[in-house]
């Protein structure tokens, strides 16, 4: 009897993939779910609501805008999951409308009542007392009216240019103005400098210091003051979201900074991609705005509340209630650094691993500060992607350059939404005589690395810091990331060679330990996956654990499918997008995908391979995305110190044990929140805080 031929599965089949855009929207669903978690402090829950709204803004500004542009160029394109652009946009519209409806339900039916119970109130116009109304009218006349500029629409007053994501009002009018005109409509733009939430003075409230009124409510109440002699029939807030992705033609530019500056000037006026309007707006006015912005109804959102919920985040600092916020903590410090303030001496003794935010980011700042002040330091080389305007790291680099040290900074001008800040930082560094380059044309420099070259006796010794996150002290308290200090010779030489490549544009000779995109990282990861496959086929134990922000790149997904088919046990900890579909019979039954959503943004990238029992562990700046593998300069560095590798492995396994903040990806692309069941409650972020931090 002949054995039937086993036909291998086509791992490129669309049924094996989750749509990227739907996966990203699912992440926002998980973020919004935090706003409903009664175990979290109330003002933190409000923050989660705001974050979900901010994420959706960026989703439309970048992802939806990109799909719309693709549709104009080639509407026949099909994504890896088999959807056409039109089908993707239809699914996005449905899911996004569901998400926005839920955001406003959470605000109006859950959070506002909870805040009211804590004497934090948003006063509606129909609940203002006479004295409050008088105070607010005075505020309008004295603080708002002088800077508001309504525009009546007629042939001499065309529809104004509407800034991206700005608060605007469309006003229906009857009657004639002083010149006998009757346009019937006016547009009022609220300057961005105006606060969106106004705090009522305690003298005007009977419930304590935390009574607030939305700016939109004040404008609605007193807008008639702007149209003397005319009657306001309706006043409705609206907001337009625009394409905010910069386009710089790398093949047609002579000066990247000037090109980026030119594009930045137009960011606020890109193509319209979404329109939000007050749900009470008249249908005629809604249709007028849709026609004006050339938008179809699928990109219209009628909302029951402020059109920009992001601005509610300002409430966090306006309310002095520590009982409604996360308990503050003091990040820990590795014992080696707490005993010896000479960071170079510490690194000479051993590699040092930092796990932010549980451990302080200050050693990274001190590393560069000490290098700037040390007369034996000859040169500092640094990459900067996002670092913040008032960066102590940039200040240290400027100090080093002014002290006649050789300072070279590779600064990425096209870090999305940080372009303006980075241009300013580049100018400051150049003024201090630092060498500033903007990376490689056509590739974003996303690697996180710093090299210090120090004269010690008759030899030059190199010290490096490599990280998974940005050189940004503020986000280092909000994002989970790893950073490694080392003076290991081959690793430092690799970093030096990469810097030479970025500045001189010469070819890099073979690297000793680093994997680098767009050259060796993708191939190196596939090779390590294949090694686990070989072990599994021999009947030996084989495991892969990866912790990343996104899993999108098709060849890597297919390699993981092959590994799962061979019997490799695969655990993926993926914060955001995951196009891999777990639990497919015969394909991905050995793959589990989970997402951790908690107090801190999970940002670290770690790749761990069982490697026959001698775990090979790498940390990286790169996610499993096409752009990270092929269109960016990234570095992936090995954790060769056994103790440090074991520590990262413990952290990974702690993530896998989380039964409270973890969400498990299902076969259908949706996520279910992990439940403790009969097991004790375990939250990985809380446990790591206990391990490292002082409260």
**Cα separation, 25 vs 5, whole angstroms:** 41
At residue 1, the pLDDT reads 38
Q: Which residues of 108-129 are buried (b: 16+ CB within 10 A; e: fewer)?
A: eeebbeebeeeebbbbeeeebe
pLDDT for res 338: 85
Query: Which segments of 45-148 are extended strands (E)?
Result: 121-122
Among the listed residues 345, 449, 347, the one whose alpha carbon sits nearest the alpha carbon of residue 393 = 449
Given the residues 446, 465, 522, 603, the one annotated as active site: 446
Tens digit of each residue's pLDDT (9 = 90 or more) over 452-466: 999 999 999 999 999
- Comparing CA positions, the residue from 345, 399, 344, 407 lying closest to residue 379 is 407
CA distance 592 to 617: 19
Q: Are 602 and 480 in contact (CB under 8 A)?
A: yes
Tell me, what's the pLDDT at 258? Answer: 57
547, 474: one domain: no
- The per-residue pLDDT of the chain, averaged, comes to 91
Q: Residues with Cβ < 8 Å from 376, sequence gap 6 or more?
A: 454, 455, 456
Task: Note the pTM of the prediction, 2 decimals.
Answer: 0.93
Residue 6 lies in a domain: no
* Residue 390 shares a structural domain with residue 309: no
Has residue 162 got a pLDDT over 60?
A: yes
CATH number (domain holding residue 602): 3.30.870.10
Residues 477 and 532 in one domain: no
- Among the three residues 480, 513, 546, which one is the final residue of a domain in this structure? 513
pLDDT over 80 at 677, yes or no: yes
**What's residue 640's pLDDT?**
96
Helices 419-431, 256-267: inter-axial angle, 10-degree rounding: 140
Please state the rounded mean pLDDT for residues 269-291.
93
> Domain containing 307: what range?
18-323
Q: Under a CB-based contact definition with an 8 Å cutoff, are residues 639 and 449 in contact?
A: no
Q: Which residue, 323, 347, 364, sits at the end of a domain?
A: 323
Please choose, from the candidates 358, 329, 324, 357, the residue with its C-alpha nearest in 3D space to the C-alpha of residue 40: 324
For position 3, what pLDDT does the model report? 37
Percent of the chain with pLDDT over 90: 79
pLDDT over 70, % of the chain: 93
| 168 pLDDT more than 50 | yes
pLDDT reported for residue 8: 65
Instruction: Give the pLDDT confidence score for residue 261 in this predicted structure.
Output: 56
For residues 175 and 229, what is the distance between their CA atoms, to the nearest angstrom? 7
pLDDT tens figures, 602-641: 999 999 999 999 999 999 999 999 999 999 999 999 999 9
| Count of C-beta atoms within a 10 Å radius of residue 619 | 26
Structural domain count, the chain:
3
SS (H, E, C) 479-515: EEEEEEEECCHHHHHHHHHHHHHHHHCCCCCCCCCCE
6 falls in which pLDDT band (50, 70, 90)? Answer: very low
Query: Is pLDDT of 108 > 70?
Result: yes
H or E element at residue 412:
none
- Tell me the mean pLDDT in the region 191-202: 93
* Contact call for residues 636 and 648 (beta carbons, < 8 A): no
Question: Does 104 share its domain with 221?
Answer: yes
Q: Pick from 290, 323, 356: which residue ends a domain?
A: 323
Same structural domain for residues 660 and 533? yes
pLDDT in the model for residue 5: 41
Q: Is residue 7 part of a domain?
A: no
- Are residues 375 and 280 part of one domain? no
- 297 in the same domain as 366: no
Within a domain: 3: no
Are 508 and 522 within one domain? no
pLDDT recorded at residue 251 = 47
Residues 6+ apart with CB under 8 A from 686: none
Q: Which residue has the tokens 């419930």?
A: 207
Is the pLDDT confidence value at 201 over 70? yes
Average pLDDT over residues 461-489: 96
Token duo for residue 580: 């891999």
Tokens representing residue 586 in the block: 């015969």
Does 8 map to a domain? no
The pLDDT tens digits for 344-354 are 999 999 999 99
256: pLDDT strictly greater than 60: no
The confidence score (pLDDT) of residue 490 equals 97
Q: Say if residue 106's pLDDT is above 90.
A: yes
Q: What is the pLDDT of residue 111?
A: 98
Clarify whether residues 82 and 176 are in a common domain: yes
On the question of pLDDT at 260 being above 60, the answer is: no
Q: Which two tokens stand for residue 443?
A: 């590739």
User: pLDDT value at position 72?
Assistant: 84
Task: Compare 439 and 114 and report the one with higher pLDDT.
Answer: 114
Q: Is residue 12 in some structural domain? A: no
89 and 197 inside one domain: yes
Mean pLDDT of 653-675: 96
Alpha helices (H) in 274-418, listed in sequence order: 283-293, 315-318, 335-339, 343-349, 362-373, 392-402
* 388 — pLDDT class (breaks 50, 70, 90): confident
Q: Residue 99 belongs to a domain with what CATH number?
A: 3.30.1840.10
Query: Please, is 10 exposed, middle or buried when counting C-beta atoms within 10 Å of its C-beta (0-12, 13-18, 19+)?
Result: exposed
Residue-wise pLDDT for 391-440, tens only, equals 999 999 999 999 999 999 999 877 676 677 878 888 889 999 899 998 78
Within a domain: residue 4? no
Residue 249 has pLDDT above 70, yes or no: no
Rounded CA-CA distance 192/189 in Å is 9
Task: Decide: 164 and 217 in contact? Cβ < 8 Å.
Answer: no
Q: Is residue 11 part of a domain?
A: no
- Rg (C-alpha) for the chain, rounded Å, is 28
Query: Does the annotation count 446 as an active-site position?
Result: yes
Using CA atoms, how far apart are residues 35 and 50, in angstroms rounded to an integer?
9
Average pLDDT on 124-139 reads 93
| 198 and 278 together in one domain | yes
Contact of 330 with 695, CB cutoff 8 Å: yes
Q: Which letter does DSSP use for residue 478 in this model? A: T
Scanning 553-618, the segments in alpha helix (DSSP H) are 554-566
Same domain, yes or no: 118 and 178: yes
pLDDT over 90 at 340, yes or no: no
> Is 328 within the bounds of a domain?
no
Name the phi and psi angles at 341, rounded to 5. -80, -15
**Predicted pLDDT at 255:** 55
């Amino acid at each position: 009897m002949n054995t039937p031929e086993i036909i291998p599965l086509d791992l490129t089949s669309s049924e094996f993939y989750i749509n990227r855009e739907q996966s990203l929207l699912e992440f926002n669903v998980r973020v919004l779910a935090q706003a409903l978690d009664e175990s979290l402090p109330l003002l933190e829950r409000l923050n989660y609501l705001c974050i979900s709204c901010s994420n959706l803004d960026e989703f439309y500004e970048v992802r939806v805008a990109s799909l719309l542009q693709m549709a104009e160029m080639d509407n026949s394109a099909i994504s890896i999951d088999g959807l056409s652009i039109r089908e993707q946009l239809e699914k996005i519209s449905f899911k996004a409308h569901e998400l926005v409806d839920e955001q406003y339900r959470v605000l109006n039916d859950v959070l506002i009542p909870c805040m009211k119970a804590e004497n934090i109130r948003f006063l509606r116009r129909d609940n203002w007392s006479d004295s409050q109304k008088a105070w607010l009218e005075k505020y309008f006349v004295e603080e708002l009216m002088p800077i508001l500029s309504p525009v009546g629409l007629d042939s001499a007053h065309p529809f104004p240019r509407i800034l991206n994501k700005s608060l605007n009002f469309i006003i229906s009018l009857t009657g004639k103005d002083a010149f006998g005109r009757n346009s019937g409509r006016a547009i009022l733009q609220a300057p961005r400098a105006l606060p969106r939430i106004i705090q009522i003075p305690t003298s005007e409230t009977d419930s304590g210091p935390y009574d607030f009124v939305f700016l939109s409510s004040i404008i609605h109440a007193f807008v008639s003051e702007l149209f003397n002699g005319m009657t306001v029939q309706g006043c409705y807030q609206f907001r337009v979201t625009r394409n905010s992705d910069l386009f710089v033609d790398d093949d047609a530019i002579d000066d990247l900074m000037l090109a980026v500056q030119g594009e930045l000037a137009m960011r606020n006026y890109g193509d319209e991609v979404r329109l939000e309007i007050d749900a009470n707006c008249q249908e005629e006015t809604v249709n007028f705005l849709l026609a004006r912005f050339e938008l179809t109804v699928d990109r219209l959102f009628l909302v029951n509340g402020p059109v920009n919920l992001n601005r509610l985040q300002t409430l966090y600092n306006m309310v002095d209630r520590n009982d409604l916020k996360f308990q503050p903590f003091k990040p820990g410090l590795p014992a080696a650094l707490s005993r010896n303030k000479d960071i170079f001496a510490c690194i000479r003794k051993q590699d040092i691993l930092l796990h932010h935010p549980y451990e302080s980011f200050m050693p990274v700042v001190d590393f560069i500060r000490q290098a700037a002040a040390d007369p034996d330091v000859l040169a500092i080389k640094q990459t900067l992607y996002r670092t913040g305007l008032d960066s102590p790291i940039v200040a240290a680099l400027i100090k080093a350059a002014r002290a006649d040290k050789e300072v070279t900074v590779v600064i990425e001008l096209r870090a999305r939404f940080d372009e303006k800040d980075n241009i300013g930082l580049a100018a400051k560094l150049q003024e201090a005589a630092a060498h500033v380059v903007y990376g490689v044309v056509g590739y974003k420099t996303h690697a996180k690395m710093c090299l210090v070259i120090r004269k010690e006796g008759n030899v030059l010794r190199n010290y490096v810091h490599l990280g998974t996150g940005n050189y940004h002290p503020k986000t280092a308290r909000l994002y989970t990331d790893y950073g490694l200090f080392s003076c290991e010779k081959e690793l430092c030489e690799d970093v030096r060679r990469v810097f030479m490549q970025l500045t001189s544009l010469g070819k890099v000779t073979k690297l000793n330990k680093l994997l680098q995109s767009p050259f060796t990282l993708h191939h190196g990861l596939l090779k390590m996956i294949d090694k686990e496959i070989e072990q599994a086929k021999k009947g030996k134990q084989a495991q892969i654990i990866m912790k990343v922000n996104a899993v999108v790149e098709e060849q890597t997904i297919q390699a993981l499918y092959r590994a799962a088919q061979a019997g490799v046990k695969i655990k993926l900890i993926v914060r955001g997008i995951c196009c891999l579909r777990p639990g497919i019979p015969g394909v991905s039954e050995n793959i589990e995908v989970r997402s951790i959503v908690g107090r801190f943004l999970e940002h670290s990238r770690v790749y761990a391979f069982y490697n026959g029992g001698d775990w090979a562990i790498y940390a990286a700046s790169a996610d499993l995305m096409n752009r990270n593998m092929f269109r960016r300069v990234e570095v992936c560095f090995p954790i060769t110190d056994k103790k440090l590798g074991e520590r990262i492995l413990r952290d990974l396994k702690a993530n896998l044990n989380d039964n409270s903040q973890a969400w498990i990806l299902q076969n259908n692309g949706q996520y279910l929140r992990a439940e403790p069941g009969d097991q004790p409650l375990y939250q990985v972020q809380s446990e790591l805080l206990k391990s490292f931090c002082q409260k």
